[in-house]
Chain A
Amino acid sequence: MEAIPLEHILLLGAVLFSIGILAVITKRHAVVVLMGIELIFNAANLNLIAFSRYDPSLLQGQLFSLFVIVVAAAEAAVALAIVLRVYQHFHTANLPDIVSKENS
């Protein structure tokens, strides 16, 4: 099996990163914004692992991506708890509605 070119992996990471940015900017529901952030984490991990393939004995990219996954899991737990709390308080999870209710 010939090797996958490094540029193609990096381009895939770039596309996933841009889609994550798009989801974070355009979506109004807080949970979908979180999903976009998870997509951004995945793009970063993809780049780390693509470069870790050239790092034969150290495997530092894979270790770093493991810690990124752990931090992303902790972030998702805390953020979803905050979303649930905000939903109980404002009875909506739409971010513009939350902002307008906060100001009124």
Chain B
Amino acid sequence: MEKTELGKAPKLRKNKRRSNESLAGWLFALPWLIGLAVFFIYPLLSSIYYSFTDYSILQSGDFIGLANYRELFQDELFWISIYNTVYFAVLFVPLSIIFGVALAMVLNMRVRGMAVYRTIFFLPTLVPHVALAILWIWLLNPQFGLVNAMLDFFGIQGPPWLGSTFWSKPALVLMSLWGIGQAVIIYLAGLGDISQEYYEAAEVDGASFLQKTFRITLPLLTPVIFFNLVMGFIGAFQQFTLPYAMTNGTGSPADSLTFYVMYLYDNAFSYFRMGYASAMAWILFVIIMLLTAIVFWSSKRWVHYQGD
């Protein structure tokens, strides 16, 4: 009897304190919550509504039902921008994973001055995208650019990169790979997480370097690869700043660099077709959501967690 009473009393007190604390917590979070509601949730919901209107920013639009969506599916540039975006994502995301993991494994070796090397590979991610775009325009210039000068050294005549509709997207992939330092940091953390015991056990069994890489390192790195895959696809589908800055927003040559979000931006701010742009934004949302769902669904088959 006594025990339970003793046990009850502090519990009650604790509950009261907890509700006071949670009230204070909510109060502290309130400014942020109001901000979230006013500047994020409200615009988000209104953009659904606007996607059914011919809203132009300067004048409130009329409700036109599904007309924006119907027009989009007949809009040639809409399909071109989807093609370009998918092309870029399909080329860039796998390459960024292969190079990212390889680079992380190299940077994970115990060598003197490793901190310096790691810094060097992380530095490019600190460069603003617009500056990066200008830098690469120079590097890729076929007349006096560094890239073709290097190819020339090996006796290869470099392609006209940004002048050609065929090479412009690979050029953009090349540029984007420059910024994989961010992903490499995450891979490095993942590598650091793999228990040394596995390697020691494998060494006792006489496993080669390749065997260790493909049987231990890569499988145990899959949760991190999974994360970077999802983030990579989301980022690739929202590609904007680099091609926009490089082509002055034109997507030249001949729309080969017109990406989905660039066309969305044009509709919103150049043509004042906010309703049409809202419809595009929601279609993009659905595409990214579906893609993420597919990656999540497939992850059961290939992502291994330590201790599973």
B is bound to A = no
**Interface of A with B (CB < 8 Å)?**
none
**Interface of B with A (CB < 8 Å)?**
none
